[in-house]
Structure 1
Amino acid sequence: MDNSKELFPLVDNDGNVIGSILRGEAHNGSKKLHPVVHLHVINSKGELYLQKRPEWKDIQPGKWDTACGGHVDYGENVADALRREVGEELGIKDFTPTFITHYIFESNREKEFVNVFAAHYDGCIHPSESELDGGRFWSAEEIACNLGKDVFTPNFESEYKKVVEPYIQSEKTHTNEQ
């Protein structure tokens, strides 16, 4: 189970730390803005790795989501949080993340300052058995066929359409121009 007593940074709309909050506070509908990291893992076929959230999660249990997503701990910087979360959730230690963007995501229960990264990776992925219900690579066609069908988290669907799909397309365009 998630520890409701974990300490997260409280941030302003620019991502600057202005205090701290407990995990329980972050997810209880208070909508206190707290930072998270997302890593989209793309293999050489252009497929996107997605994780399956376990049923015990307090937010979006049982849904497919971003390869790696996690909270920044209080006192931790975004880069360190990304490396920690990717190591914990996917067992990946050697990767080169590219920062894509950041944005504010709001649901009925929480408000997050999302720092989005991508990494190209064809190595072994070892999803955490204690944190995830597995994961796999999805083609763009598979993702498109399942959008809007309650398969993915709303956050993933929104981020995929607004950030990830355009990022992947721009990479293809850039590669084809070379």
Structure 2
Amino acid sequence: MTTEQVVLVDDAGRAIGTEDKATVHHAATPLHLAFSSYVFDDRGRLLLTQRAVTKKAWPGVWTNSCCGHPLPGEPVEDAVRRRLADELGLVPATVELVLPAFRYRAEMPDGVVENELCPVFRVDCVGDPEPDPAEVAAYKWVDWPRDDVQAGLEAAVGAELSPWCVLQLQELKRLGEVPGEWAVADRASLPPSAQ
């Protein structure tokens, strides 16, 4: 059985190696390539998900629709589609890049660190998810708030959101109040390891 690999990157976003996904997250997590996606349905509602309680990083935390790591050599848009199918049983109608250069670092109370170069995508899907319980504990479709997006989404699920989701919401708000009208970013603005 082959272990899943993540792509390690330098500060300029260039691939510099790989590491096993199972061992990459720890107190000194190296910078690596990831993605985040925000799934909307045909009514404009956002899909929020609660991470499975068995996950090493942020177990049980509510967050954006789906996150993951491109495999070495895998186009990041293909990784978005693969993980949406694997985690949620969803087949996207569209996958659009909106934040090509998002990067963050967050540390859990137990010392586990996320350290990711993490392009963000807006995704349109039809139908309800069928979550893999090893990945997703629960999900909820919520209306996109017009004012304080973070507070509105946290109120909708009754919990704080993941640190990366909070940071992404700040940047997404700058793109406009209506997610369906966010400008699609130029793919050439992705980090080199994601192109």
Structure-2 change in CA distance of 1:132 and 1:171 (3 Å): closer
Name which of 20, 23, 26 aligns with 2:21.
Answer: 23
Structure 1 runs not aligned, ≥5 long: none
- Structure 2 CA distance for aligned equivalents of residues 85 and 135 of structure 1: 15
- Determine helix, strand or coil for the equivalent of 2:34: strand
1:130 paired residue number? 134
- Determine helix, strand or coil for the equivalent of 1:87: helix
Maintained 8 Å contact 1:25/1:32:
no
- Structure 2 CA distance for aligned equivalents of residues 168 and 123 of structure 1: 25
Maintained 8 Å contact 1:52/1:135:
yes
- Determine helix, strand or coil for the equivalent of 1:30: coil
Q: Which moved more, 1:39-48 or 1:100-109?
A: 39-48
2:161 paired residue number? 152
Deviation of residue 44 (structure 1)? 3.6
TM-score normalised per structure 1: 0.81
- Structure 2 CA distance for aligned equivalents of residues 156 and 57 of structure 1: 17
1:113 paired residue number? 117
Question: What amino acid is the match of 2:71?
Answer: D
- Structure 1 CA distance for aligned equivalents of residues 46 and 31 of structure 2: 28
* Regions of 4+ moved over 6 Å: none
2:30 paired residue number? 32
Structure-2 change in CA distance of 1:121 and 1:19 (3 Å): same
2:185 paired residue number? none
Deviation of residue 170 (structure 1)? 5.1
1:169 paired residue number? 177
- Structure 2 CA distance for aligned equivalents of residues 76 and 171 of structure 1: 27
2:69 paired residue number? 71
Deviation of residue 21 (structure 1)? 1.9
Aligned length: 168
Structure-2 change in CA distance of 1:36 and 1:151 (3 Å): same
- Determine helix, strand or coil for the equivalent of 1:157: helix
Deviation of residue 79 (structure 1)? 2.0
- Structure 1 CA distance for aligned equivalents of residues 36 and 176 of structure 2: 15
Structure 2 runs not aligned, ≥5 long: 108-112, 183-195
Maintained 8 Å contact 2:47/2:64:
yes
TM-score normalised per structure 2: 0.74
- Structure 2 CA distance for aligned equivalents of residues 63 and 114 of structure 1: 18
- Structure 1 CA distance for aligned equivalents of residues 66 and 32 of structure 2: 17
Maintained 8 Å contact 1:31/1:106:
no
* RMSD (CA atoms): 2.5
